[in-house]
Amino acid sequence: MSQEHCIIIGGSHAAAALAAGLRQEGWEGKISLIGADPLPPYHRPPLSKAFLCGDKSESELLIRPADFYEKNNIDLVLGSRVTNIDREKKTVTLHDGGVISYTKLALTTGAKVRKIPIEGSDLGGVFYLRDLGDVQQIKKYIGKGKSAAIIGGGYIGLEAAASMRKMGMNVTVLEAMPRILQRVTAPEISAFYARVHQEEGVEIITEASVKAIEGSGDVNAVALADGRSIPADIVIIGVGVLPDVELAEQAGLELDNGIVVDEYARTSDHDIVAAGDCTNHFNPIYGRRLRLESVQNASDQAKIAAKTLCGNLTEYRALPWFWSDQFDLKLQIAGLSQGFDQVVTRGDYANTRSFAAFYFQDGKLLAVDAINRPKEFMLSKRFLAEGKNADPVKLADESVEVKDAFEG
């Protein structure tokens, strides 16, 4: 057995992909995966959907079956947190005082919820939704006929709203901005999701300024600055996430909206790689540095990090893609729309539940949001990765096949 020892910090999607990737790339040394959760790495997207609704069990959330780690000689150190990294001694210290030596280190610490100071946020029934423990507590407060207030009209908030509405709850979404999803998408997409949620019985209040969460012991209402009171047996706060970089900062690694990594997923210390939501990396397709919150990026970048640790330097070059499930809607996003100056829609977003929105900048296709349109998503994803452009007039014309709207 090799004397090499790779420690992976974090129990995320990236952690699971990195551990598996190391063995696939021929790493013969020891592998230890240290995660704060009591479970091995698990899928997080279903937490606000299938798991919250009771359609998936804990074991069904696992990215890899528990025995995978045993079969591949990967040591799981679960329910444990690393409190210190000593790069000179090449050791990590655990919260219980234990010290472990490494030859290579991988940071897959992910992201943590963005917390906002609201009076009453410490009441029972007020939650941020990030991990399995959060949802297990949330389940104690949900039930048919009960009322939920969701602070934040982003994807997590809307997914939770859809799940709770499907369970027969009265749901109100409180969004501070003039429209839901304003930070991440075009007005057409916002209008579409607002319409569908309202058709499904969700109340959406935009430009909502939350003054306080009220109750004694447990929450019973959310008070808005305009004097309105929103009844609530449970409150979910979903206002985004921040990269979890505390350990990297303590270790003196370079940071800039995440842990700065090169094209091989190496940090400023080449014995330490990083992957996933916690990293800031250069994307050659878009020609700029990015920090992405996506399962795709976590898995793909982790595979590159595993190759790097095994001496097989491969440049990370991947088209970002994402998804969101709400009610009967499957949104699939290919590419990044930031900086768009034109949106072309294919399909009737005002009256149906199936259409695609294509984002252009200076005539160049940047991204697509495809809702119940798998063909548009798959073709756009492929062609965007290949650097092909599309004709906006042909894309808007449903009598033209999608593939025929793209160059050559």
Question: What pLDDT, in 10s, does the model give residues 360-382?
Answer: 999 999 999 999 999 999 999 99
Structure tokens, 102: 């490494």
46 & 146 share domain:
no
Contacts by 340-344 with C-beta closer than 8 Å and gap 24+? 340/186, 340/366, 340/367, 342/392, 343/186, 343/188, 344/392, 344/395, 344/396
Tokens 């990294």, residue located: 85
Give the Cα separation of 245 and 85 in Å (integer). Answer: 12
The sign of the dihedral angle between the CA atoms of 301, 305, 311, 313 is: positive
Query: Residue 47: helix, strand or coil by DSSP?
Result: helix
Query: Residue 144: helix, strand or coil by DSSP?
Result: coil
Q: Does a structural domain hold residue 317?
A: no
Query: What pLDDT is recorded for position 316?
Result: 97
List the CATH number of the domain containing 78.
3.50.50.60
104 & 248 share domain:
yes
221 & 140 share domain:
yes
Whole-number Cα distances in Å, 242 to 247, 310, 333:
14, 30, 21
Question: What pLDDT, in 10s, does the model give residues 177-235?
Answer: 999 999 999 999 999 999 999 999 999 999 999 999 999 999 999 999 999 999 999 99
Which of the 8 DSSP states describes residue 159?
H
Torsion of CA 25, 334, 8, 37, to 10 degrees: -130
pLDDT of 293 higher than 80: yes
107 & 248 share domain:
yes
107 & 132 share domain:
no
Residues 61-79, mean pLDDT to the nearest whole number: 96
Query: What pLDDT is recorded for position 165?
Result: 96
pLDDT of 1 higher than 60: no
283 & 217 share domain:
no
88 & 134 share domain:
no
State the pLDDT confidence band at 408, using cuts at 50, 70 and 90: low
State the pLDDT confidence band at 407, using cuts at 50, 70 and 90: confident
99 & 165 share domain:
no
Question: What pLDDT, in 10s, does the model give residues 54-67?
Answer: 888 888 999 999 89
Arithmetic mean of pLDDT over the chain:
96
Question: What pLDDT, in 10s, does the model give residues 4-37?
Answer: 999 999 999 999 999 999 999 999 999 999 999 9
Burial string for 302-317 (b: 16+ CB within 10 Å, else e) reads bbbbbbbbbeeeeebe
Q: Does a structural domain hold residue 316?
A: no
State the pLDDT confidence band at 48, using cuts at 50, 70 and 90: confident
Q: Does a structural domain hold residue 318?
A: no
Q: Which domain, by its residues, includes 370? A: 328-405
The number of distinct structural domains making up the chain is: 3
Q: Does a structural domain hold residue 167?
A: yes
Q: Does a structural domain hold residue 10?
A: yes
Q: Does a structural domain hold residue 102?
A: yes
66 & 160 share domain:
no
Query: What pLDDT is recorded for position 137?
Result: 93
